[in-house]
Amino acid sequence: MYDTNRRVENAVTPKDIKIQARKVQVFYGDKHALKDVDVDILDKTVTAFIGPSGCGKSTFLRCINRMNDTIPIARVEGEILLDGEDVYDRRVDPVQLRAKVGMVFQKPNPFPKSIYDNVAYGPRIHGLSRNRAELDGIVEGALRGAALWNEVKDRLSEPGTGLSGGQQQRLCIARAVATSPEVLLMDEPCSALDPIATAQVEELIEELREQFSVVIVTHSMQQAARVSQKTAFFHLGNLVEYGDTDDIFTRPKDSRTEAYISGRIG
Binding site for other proteins (CB under 8 A): 65, 67, 70, 72, 95-99, 102-105, 107, 109-112, 121-122, 125-126, 161, 172, 175-176, 178-179
In whole angstroms, the minimum distance from the beta carbon of 103 to other proteins comes to: 4
245 within 8 A of 228, measured Cβ to Cβ:
yes
Give min distance, CB of 245 to other proteins, in A. Answer: 26
Residue with smaller CB distance to other proteins, 5 or 70: 70
The string of DSSP codes covering 73-125 is: TEEEEEEEEETTEETTSTT--HHHHHHHEEEE-SS----SSBHHHHHHHHHHH
Compare residues 176 and 261 and give the one whose CB is closer to other proteins.
Answer: 176
CB of 76 or CB of 239, closer to other proteins: 76
User: Helix, strand or coil for residue 215?
Assistant: strand
Shortest distance in whole angstroms from residue 179 CB to other proteins = 6
Q: Compare residues 138 and 239 and give the one whose CB is closer to other proteins.
A: 138
251's CB contacts (< 8 A; 6+ apart) are none
Burial class (CB in 10 A: 0-12, 13-18, 19+), 79: middle
Give DSSP secondary structure letters for 76-90: EEEEEEETTEETTST
* CA atoms of 112 and 238, how far apart (whole Å): 38
List residues bridging with 85 in a β-sheet: 82
Task: Give dist(CA 128, CA 50) in Å, integer.
Answer: 35
Question: Phi and psi for 233 in degrees, rounded to 5?
Answer: -105, 125
Q: How far is the CB of 136 from other proteins (least distance, A)?
A: 18
Q: Closest CB to other proteins among 181 and 252?
A: 181
- 103 vs 239, beta carbon nearer other proteins: 103
In whole angstroms, how close is the CB of 166 to other proteins at the nearest point? 17
**Residue 15 or residue 113: which is nearer to other proteins going by CB?**
113
- CB 85 to other proteins: min, Å: 16
Number of helices and strands in the chain (H, E): 10, 10
DSSP 140: H
Closest CA to 226 of 241, 205, 240: 205
Minimum CB–partner distance for residue 191 and other proteins (Å): 14
